[in-house]
Every structure is written in structure tokens, then in C-alpha cells.
Amino acid sequence: MEIKILLVFFVSLSSMLSTTLSRSTRSNITWWCNQTPHPEPCLYLMSHGSRRFAPKHMSQFRKIMVQLAFDRAVMTGKKVNEFGQSCENWKQKAAWRDCLKLFDNTILQLNTTLRGLESRRRMGCNDFDAQTWLSTALTNIQTCEAGFMDFNVSDFFTPSSSNNISQMISNSLAVNGIFLRKRNLTQVFPGWLSRHHKRLLLSSTKAHIVVAKDGSGNFRTVQAALDAAAKRKRYTRFIIHVKRGVYRENIEVSSANRNVMLVGDGMKRTIITSSRSAKTGYTTYSSATAGIDGPGFIARDITFSNTAGPTKGQAVALRSASDLSVFYRCAIVGYQDTLMTSYFGNAAVVLQSCSIFARRPLKGQANIITAQGRGDPYQTTGIAIHNSRILAANDLKPVVHAFNTYLGRPWQQYSRTVVLKTYLDSLVSPAGWSKWGNSEFALGTLYYGEYKNYGPSSSTKWRVKWPGFHVITSASVASRFTVNSLIAGRTWLPTTGVPFTAGL
């Protein structure tokens, strides 16, 4: 499947708490915790920890929730580190290695949230930033657990359930959501990509380092250049020019390696490719050809590819957990779980003016365009496919009617995907959407919708009859999933220089 991304952004849901409190409720820990989605761990930790007092106001309660989540994450992170000695086989070891990285990043995100809440003016932090960091922290814990499930060793180690980390992060998301709801989105969404960075996207740039396979640059591999960038003392924008060529390697941009920009010579000329997959001993997380964690990452004119093929199971081409990142004029090519955190994963993303090509699967398999992973009702994550085309790739065209192609299936309980004003070619099944296996999982809690699509498979007459599926007829409802509403794109996308449609 080949994907072009317009933007990816994390958003989470505000809770229904009220900031108007009487004096009697202010002194009652039970009352405070009962307003959260997970009151039991909240009450236990607030009653048994060092903070055995009721907060005086909502801001203090928010900090307490994040602090408690941070404390539990640090404690569990130490246990995760020690747990490596107990690994009995390569499957447990592989999943454990992922969890080491993911817990380190969770601790980083929670610590950044705490510092941002305590030093808002100095750090330039706002409530949206906090919601983004909290969402990333929660997704990290879920990804850690998923790695053990990939190898069917989930009974070996379940860190978040024993320490209530996920529940406390969910509580933090709910409480922080109050402050997002109170403010105008134009005030809380930052215009984070400056005019300088806009010029970087649209014009030729002078690189700090050049990568060339023929030895004419500073390095022959992309990872060597990234490692050099990580050693710099100042984390201002650092540009790496990757000359034309096929680079067969897996690359990682660590969470400490900030503001890196990779510039290729064109999607068809600069290709970073590998073939890691679940069948060759990697978790979905670690199978990625490119794993991007460093904030402020920008890629331009590059293809990220995973050539594992349909027989190899999960095989990610691009995994991006980078906050404030841009992928411009990039192609993402693979078979299963091509892009982690948009088509597969948990993010708020609008894919606009994209051409999405489904490839030929194995006999007995089907194509699933999306597997959105919203696992918490307090997250406003979801996928919107807008003004795009869903087509058969060249290898599928001759046998298109021998395989089913679905718009999505629920990877998590609150999965949410909407397809708007998009051309659906004849490959899309009349049912439109697929169950997760043969189960009834999430059919009443998911939100799948279609609005004014067109093409041979656009009729909704034979679509699934699930409680969570919606044929959207109202423009106001459909507008909730546009660039402007789902990710408040009008407040920050203009600074990127990327052309987009804000509304329907």
C-alpha cells in the first residue's frame, strides 16, 4: 500500500468535570476521584501516597494526576529494566526491548508534561501541548503491551495493568481536557512551524551533512548521519541531504535527537528500504524501516519502504512518534501495517488529496485500508480520509474481484474512521467495513462513517448494519472530521506551506 500524508496530530478529549466547586467538595478526595473515568486507582494513590490531601482547585488536581502517573511510570520502568533477566526466549526478549524504549519515552512525555504545567510561560507550553504528550504516553504503554501480544507471550509481562499507569494517564487526559474545552482553539494550537521551516520545505537548502552511497558525501548510510546529528551540542534545525540511491537499512531518530530534517532527491530517487517483519522475528513496533521519535522531524522528497511482502505479516514502513513533525512529498510503501500511527495506530490524522493503492494479498486474505487504534474514549484521535482516491494497485487490478477490500476494521474498542468525498473504485466491498476476525468486538463503541463519497463502490445500500456505523447526511456532522475541526489545521497548517482544504 502506498500512502501520502498530509498531516498527523494527536488530540484528546476533554472530560465532563466542572471547575465550579463548592468548599465542601474541594476537601473531599473521593468526590474528586469519582469525576474521573478511573476513580479506583485515583482514590487509592491519592489516599496512600505522599499527597494525602484534596486539591484546592482543578489546576492542582491536574498536576496531581500527572504526577501520580509519572511516579508509577518511573517505578514500573525500573521493573521493566530488571525484567530482562527473566526473559526465557527470543520472543520475550524482542518484546522486552521495545518496552524499554517505550517506557523511557513515556517517562519523558510525562516529565515534559509536568514541567510544562509548572513553567508554562518559560517553556511556552499550553494545554494542547500537554494533551499531546499525555496521548503519546498512553499510546506507548499500549504499544508495549501489543508487542507481547504479537508473539503470544502477553502472560509473561503486563506492566500497565499491575501499576494502573494507563488508567492514571487516562484520568490525566480527562482532567486536562477541561482546560482545552474552556479555551478557543486558535489560542491553544501553536503555529509551530515557522516561516523559516516553511522555506525549508519549499526550497533547496544547504545541508549540514550529505549522505551518498558512492562515497561523495560525509557518510554512506543514513543512520551514520543521524548518529552524527545526535552528538551535536545545540539542537537547532539540522539538515541531512540524502542523495539519490536505494539505502537498504533501518533507521532510528531517537527521542533526544531533535529537529532533524532529511531531504532526498525525490520520491522515486531517494529510497530508504528494509524488510523486517513479524515473521522474521520482529514486533510490529520494531519492524519499522524508519522509526522516528525525535521531536520536530521533517522529511522531504523521500520514499520509506518495507518490502517484506504479504506472506510476512506485520511489516511497518514508517513508525512516527515524533511530535511536531512533517512528511512532505514523501511516499510510504509496504503491505501490512504500512504506516504506524495513521492507517494503523492511534493518532488524529487527516489524509487529504491522497492516492491510496491496495495491493494484491495472498489467497484467502483481504485488504484492510485502516485499523485505527483509539483505545480510550477520552482521546479525540481518529482517521479522516478526505478528497482522496482508493484504487487497486497494478498487481491487484487483474484479480480485483477475487479479493475483498474494506475501508477499515477496529483495532481497538473506540476505533474511529470517517471517509469523506472520496472516490471509491470497484475494489471496495459492498459491506464497506470488516469485523475484527469473527468477533463482535467494538461494533457498538466504534465510530465509522461515510459522507458523499463517489465512484463504483460508493453506495451505502449494502453497508454493515453495526450500531457504530453511520451514513452521514449532515454537513455539520461531516465537518467535525475536516482539517479545520479534527486537528484545527487552519490555525497552524498555513505556516507549513502545504496546500490543504480546511473544510468540506
Q: Confirm if 278 and 315 have CB atoms less than 8 A apart.
A: yes
3 state SS for 105-162? HHHHHHHHHHHHHHCHHHHCCCHHHHHHHHHHHHHHHHHHHHHHHHCCCCCCCCHHHH
Q: What is the pLDDT of residue 142?
A: 85
482: phi then psi, degrees, rounded to nearest 5: -90, 170
Taking CA atoms, 61 is separated from 5, 33, 45, 46, 65, in Å, by: 37, 9, 13, 10, 6
Picking from 266, 201, 184, the residue whose alpha carbon sits closest to that of residue 239 is: 201
- Confidence band, pLDDT 50/70/90 cuts, at residue 186: very low
Average pLDDT over residues 148-162: 68
What value does the mean pLDDT take over residues 131-140?
86
Cα–Cα distance for residue pair 154/84, rounded to 1 Å: 15
How far is the CA of 391 from the CAs of 267, 351, 364, 503, in angstroms? 20, 15, 20, 24
Which of 164-178, 267-281, 371-385 comes out lowest in average pLDDT?
371-385
Q: CA-CA distance, 2 to 463, in Å (whole number)?
A: 25
Three cell numbers at 60? 492542582
* Residue in 81, 82, 46 with CA at minimum distance from that of residue 168: 46
How confident is the model over 320-341, as pLDDT tens digits?
Answer: 888 777 788 888 888 766 655 4
Please tell me the predicted confidence (pLDDT) of residue 400: 93
- The rounded mean pLDDT for the chain is 83
DSSP 312: G
C-alpha dihedral (115, 116, 117, 118), degrees to nearest 10: 50
Reported as a single tens digit per residue, the pLDDT across 246-257 is: 999 999 999 999
Q: Name the pLDDT band for 69 (thresholds 50, 70, 90).
A: very high
Q: Is the pLDDT of residue 208 over 70?
A: yes
Least confident of 82-86, 103-107, 335-339: 335-339
Three-class DSSP category at 458? coil
**Residue 189 pLDDT level (bands cut at 50, 70, 90):** very low
Given a contact cutoff of 8 angstroms between Cβ atoms, the answer to whether 291 and 102 are in contact is no
Q: Which residues pair with 247 in a beta bridge?
A: 272
pLDDT of residue 385: 94
* Per-residue pLDDT band at 66 (split at 50, 70, 90): very high
With bands split at pLDDT 50, 70 and 90, how would you rate the model's confidence at 349? confident
Say whether pLDDT at 100 is over 70. yes
Report which listed range, 85-99, 108-122, 270-284, 461-475, is most confident: 461-475
Give me the helix-helix angle, 165-182 and 127-150, nearest 10°.
150
Q: Of the candidates 344, 413, 410, 337, which has an alpha carbon nearest to the alpha carbon of residue 375? A: 413
Q: What is the pLDDT of residue 147?
A: 84
3-state class (DSSP) for residue 253: strand
Model pTM above 0.85? no
Lowest mean pLDDT among 161-165, 381-385, 397-401: 161-165
Amino acid identity at 267: M
Q: Reduced to 3 DSSP states, what percent helix, strand and coil does the chain have, rounded to the nearest 5?
A: 35, 20, 45
**91-105, 436-450, 483-497: lowest mean pLDDT where?**
483-497
Q: Distance between CA 187 and CA 269 in Å, rounded?
A: 41
172: exposed, middle or buried (Cβ count in 10 Å: 0-12, 13-18, 19+): buried
- Asked whether the predicted pLDDT for residue 274 surpasses 90, the reply is yes
Q: Cell for 211?
A: 549522505
Residue among 420, 403, 401 nearest 477 (CA) = 420
Look at residue 3 in the predicted model and tell me its pLDDT: 46
Q: What is the pLDDT of residue 21?
A: 42
Tell me how far CA of residue 338 lies from CA of 285, 304, 343, in angstroms. Answer: 11, 10, 8
CA angle, residues 201, 339, 297, in degrees to nearest 5? 35
More confident residue, 183 or 468: 468
Instruction: State pLDDT tens for residues 219-271.
Output: 999 999 999 999 998 888 899 999 999 999 999 999 999 989 999 999 999 99
State the average pLDDT over residues 128-141.
Answer: 85
> What is the radius of gyration, based on Cα positions, of the chain?
23
Domains of the chain: 33-182 (1.20.140.40), 200-341 (2.160.20.10), 344-503 (2.160.20.10)
